[in-house]
């Protein structure tokens, strides 16, 4: 069952209800943040990187710890290009299934995988890699409270084209292009589900948004713009 038409409605309901999450940025400038979940993937992510290199634009990646461990060289390639990195949990298990201590361990385990793959000091990663997107976008007020108490920043979305169901490159691109606004935060997937199309889909989306005059920013830049308003 495709829920793509429902996500814009959910965004309008949830964004004001949970203002401490990053959903988008209220800006007048035509800027947008491209984000990718569920990676890194040994085939899909390198293909995506070629597209991002082609247009020389930044993106943000929300990684699964288990995938970082499986493809450390891909993770390192993403990081070395200057793309922003966040956490998506260790194995895509929903955060609502964890107790608070286990959830914290899950995030730390993912940070450890990133530190090892990218050849970074763990203390540095734990200080700087602190954006968290819950798997499936599922959270509770208590989960948000816990994340904030541990100095993590919850990141959500404003444009969700449901690419993981592979409805087709043109369909995903059309959904994004019809919904995007100044300050939008777009979610795509470069993992096992949806990743097969991600490079071509991203190419089509980026080409069209550049023609519209949009500039691309990272999640970190979107946070800064959101807090400046």
128 assigned to active site? no
Tell me the mean pLDDT in the region 77-106. Answer: 97
pLDDT tops 60 at residue 133 = yes
Residue 73 is predicted with a pLDDT of: 98
Of the residues 37, 163, 190, 197, which is catalytic?
Answer: 37
Tell me the mean pLDDT in the region 5-20. Answer: 86
Residue 2 is predicted with a pLDDT of: 67
Residue 3 is predicted with a pLDDT of: 74
Question: 149-170: per-residue pLDDT in tens?
Answer: 999 999 999 999 999 999 999 9
Q: What is the mean pLDDT of the chain?
A: 95
Secondary structure of residue 22 in the 3-state scheme: strand
Residue 9 is predicted with a pLDDT of: 84
Residue 228 is predicted with a pLDDT of: 63
Q: Any idea which of 2-6, 27-31, 108-112 has the lowest mean pLDDT?
A: 2-6
Q: Which domains does the chain have, with CATH numbers?
A: 4-228 (3.20.20.370)
Tell me the mean pLDDT in the region 52-80. Answer: 98
pLDDT tops 70 at residue 1 = no
118 vs 13, residue with greater confidence: 118
Tell me the mean pLDDT in the region 174-189. Answer: 97
Of the residues 44, 83, 189, 203, which is catalytic?
Answer: 189
Helix/strand/coil (H/E/C) assignment for every residue in 95-108: HHHCCHHHHHHHHH
Per DSSP, what are the bridge partners of residue 184? 32
pLDDT tops 70 at residue 43 = yes
- Cα distances (Å, whole numbers) of residue 131 to 5, 123, 164, 198: 27, 15, 22, 22
pTM of the model: 0.95
Tell me the mean pLDDT in the region 59-69. Answer: 98
pLDDT tops 90 at residue 91 = yes
189 assigned to active site? yes
Of the candidates 169, 171, 156, 129, the one whose C-alpha atom is nearest the C-alpha of residue 222 is: 156
Tell me the mean pLDDT in the region 162-186. Answer: 96
pLDDT tops 80 at residue 67 = yes
**Residue 157 · residue 189 · CB < 8 Å:** no
Residue environment code for 162-189, b if the CB has 16+ CB neighbours within 10 A, otherwise e: bbbbbbebebbbbbbeebbeebbbbbbb
């Amino acid at each position: 069952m495709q829920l793509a038409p429902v996500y814009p409605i959910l965004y309008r309901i949830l964004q004001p209800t949970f203002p401490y999450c990053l959903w988008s940025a209220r800006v007048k400038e035509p800027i947008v943040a491209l984000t990718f979940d569920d990676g890194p993937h040994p085939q899909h992510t390198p293909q995506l990187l070629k597209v991002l290199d082609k247009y020389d634009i930044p993106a943000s990646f929300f990684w699964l710890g288990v995938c970082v461990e499986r493809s450390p060289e891909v993770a390192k390639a993403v990081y070395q290009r200057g793309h922003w990195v966040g956490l998506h949990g260790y194995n895509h298990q929903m955060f609502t299934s964890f107790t608070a201590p286990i959830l914290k361990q899950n995030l730390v385990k993912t940070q450890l995988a990133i530190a090892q793959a990218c050849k970074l000091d763990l203390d540095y990663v734990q200080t700087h890699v602190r954006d968290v997107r819950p798997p499936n976008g599922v959270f509770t007020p208590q989960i948000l409270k816990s994340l904030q108490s541990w100095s993590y920043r919850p990141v959500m979305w404003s444009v969700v084209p449901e690419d993981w169901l592979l409805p087709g490159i043109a369909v995903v691109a059309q959904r994004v292009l019809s919904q995007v606004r100044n300050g939008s935060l777009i979610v795509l997937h470069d993992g096992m589900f949806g990743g097969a199309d991600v490079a071509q889909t991203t190419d089509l989306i980026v080409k069209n948004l550049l023609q519209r005059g949009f500039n691309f920013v990272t999640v970190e830049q979107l946070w800064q713009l959101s807090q400046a308003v």
